[in-house]
Amino acid sequence: MYKPNPQSEFRVKFDFRVDFTNGGYVEGRGFLLDLEGDTVSEEELKVMIVESMNLAKAGEVKIFKKEIVRRGEHQDAFEE
């Protein structure tokens, strides 16, 4: 179960879309979640997104961009 950790050194910054099984979707850009280490797989990240947002009717989850950043050392937006 994902739990935020304000003491974590690393965060994952990503763009995503979650489709709901009952219709509709939610998208995020430049979203940040705390990490316990300095890596996260795409599958782990998908679970973290659903758990952190408590998305009970989540269907397909797509990750469009992903980067690992140190807390406090990242830009507010992805470099284009």
Burial of 70 by CB count in 10 Å (0-12 exposed, 13-18 middle, 19+ buried)? exposed
Gyration radius of the chain over CA positions: 13
Distance CA 49, CA 72 (A): 21
pTM beyond cutoff 0.75: yes
For 71-80, the pLDDT digits (tens) are: 888 765 455 4
Domains: count for the chain: 1
Q: Is residue 2 one of the residues assigned to a domain? A: no
Residue 40 lies in a domain: yes
pLDDT in tens, 17-74: 999 999 999 999 999 999 999 999 999 999 999 999 999 999 999 999 999 999 888 7
Give the rounded percent of residues in the chain with a pLDDT score beyond 70.
92
Pairing assessment for the beta strands 58-70 and 10-20 based on DSSP bridges: antiparallel
The parent domain of residue 14 ranges over 10-70
Whether residue 72 contacts residue 22, with contact meaning beta carbons closer than 8 Å, is answered with: no
In a domain, 75, yes or no: no
